[in-house]
Amino acid sequence: MKTSLLAPNYKDTPYWWDRTKRPILAQIDLPKKVDVAIIGSGYTGLQASIQTIRNGLETLVLESEQAGWGGSSRNGGQISTSIKPNFTELSKRFGSEHARAILQEGENALEWVGKFIQEEGIDCDFLKSGRFHGAHTPNQYQILKRNFEQNQQNFDPETQLISPAEQHYEIRSNFYHGGLLYPNHASLDPARYHQGLLDCALNCGVKIKDRCAVRKIERQNEGFLLYTDSGTLQTRELAVSTGGYTGSVTPWQQRRIIPIGSYIIATEELEDGLVDHLIPMNRVITDTRKLVVYYRASPDRKRILFGGRVSLNETDPNKSVGALHTQLTKIFPQLAAARVSHSWMGFVGFTFDFLPHTGVKDGINYSMGYCGSGVSLASYFGAKMGQRIAGLPEGKSALDDISFPTRPLYFGNPWFLAPSILFYQLKDRYFS
């Protein structure tokens, strides 16, 4: 990598952490017994905890690192309706009624998270920015167009087809061949949102113990005994919300979650007006490539944040800078001289069927596998999990306890990742 690519103040930590310092929590003693223990302090765990505490259950969140250290303070801050499989794929597996209900949960999650942020007064740059989804080849545009015209009933009525001629209103790039616009999709600052959730949970009386990993779970007559870095603890109810960091302490979930690294760079502050020129409507942007890229302006509209997958195997964010910058400049050649101020990565929890999963297994509640769309889904299904634990009917969802697939010989180490990524790279380049 050319060192000239790096801004003088370059950091290999998330851009968001400059704006929202990592929280320093008051150290608490591990209680001997609680009603509800939740493993993981991201959006899922905190949203669940807010529901359980508000319904009178003494709740403790356990986090092995600092609060929010996982995907929830590192992500791209893009919010969409988020269910990956389409209606046809879901109908084959679940029938058309259930398929519709599952897709509706994605819409519910998008609406729910915006309402939650507003009601709780969380200052996190939440904006209904809209999302432009670009076609990276003329053929992909024809596929998008055909799908949109033939299945309009399955799209939000406000979705618009953007022809190649109209594209420059959305993005000043010739990289795409038209696309789709989802005006209701949104953006936020993920770490500020997490900080708002953390404040809300603490104010409600949730106890949060960070730097305290759960090492072992033992089933007991009335609940569970947890072995943690700070001793043991009894809990009546247990919830796992470990996302792409799900480990061997919950082996059943680990066999079902595929951790995939996602890498992001932030440019240094660009010259005045350049971001407004490149992304004039302030959309968040994705495209039709199987090997996903996602990008947007920073909330102050001075930088571009660009994320994706750049190597076959996991790598160091310091090494991914060059490849991400190259991808960025293929879309915006205007940024060839722009230096990078931040580069970071985090693990996204994928599933074998590309659906999020929530339910109860052997008495342990879980909600995970948002496949890179967890800002809304983790928030919504986390809250539902908390409501379910509290025995509330609102806790039910169309995804409850649907079968959560694994594969033979898969134990949490995705040995098949490199060949799959190579396959998608070739497909995107030569067969799209």
Ligand X SMILES: Cc1cc2nc3c(=O)[nH]c(=O)nc-3n(C[C@H](O)[C@H](O)[C@H](O)COP(=O)(O)OP(=O)(O)OC[C@H]3O[C@@H](n4cnc5c(N)ncnc54)[C@H](O)[C@@H]3O)c2cc1C
Residues near ligand X, by CB under 6 A = 39-45, 62-65, 69-72, 74-79, 213-214, 241-245, 247, 249, 262, 264, 294, 307, 345-348, 368, 370, 372-375, 378
Q: Shortest approach of ligand X to residue 358 CB, angstroms? A: 11
Closest approach of ligand X to the CB of residue 215, in Å? 7
The CB-of-109 to ligand X minimum distance in angstroms stands at 9
Taking the least distance from each CB to ligand X, the nearer of 10 and 347 is 347
Nearer to ligand X, 108 or 137 (CB): 108
| Closest residue to ligand X in the complex (CB) | 374
What residues have CB less than 8 Å from 159, skipping those under 6 apart? 148, 180, 181, 182, 183
Distances (CA, A) of 293 to 71, 275, 335: 16, 18, 17
- The phi and psi torsions of 357 (rounded to 5 degrees) equal -135, 135
Q: What is the DSSP string of 24-58?
A: -PPP-PPPSEEEEEEE--SHHHHHHHHHHHHTT--
Name the residue nearer to ligand X (CB basis): 167 or 373.
Answer: 373
Q: How far is the CB of 343 from ligand X (least distance, A)?
A: 11
CB of 273 vs ligand X, minimal distance in Å = 25
Q: Which is nearer to ligand X, 177 or 257 (CB)?
A: 257
Question: CB of 187: closest distance to ligand X in angstroms?
Answer: 8
CA distance 279 to 254: 39
d(CA 345, CA 70): 10
- DSSP, res 394: G
Report the Cα–Cα distance between both ends of the chain, in Å, rounded: 29
242: phi then psi, degrees, rounded to nearest 5: -105, 5
Cα distance between residue 371 and residue 348, in whole Å: 6
CB nearer to ligand X: give 143 or 292: 292
Distance between CA atoms of 106 and 376, rounded to whole angstroms? 8
- Residue 98 beta carbon to ligand X: minimum distance, rounded to whole angstroms: 23
Cα-Cα-Cα-Cα torsion 178, 180, 184, 189, nearest 10 degrees, comes to: -60
Q: Which is nearer to ligand X, 114 or 243 (CB)?
A: 243
Nearer to ligand X, 140 or 320 (CB): 320
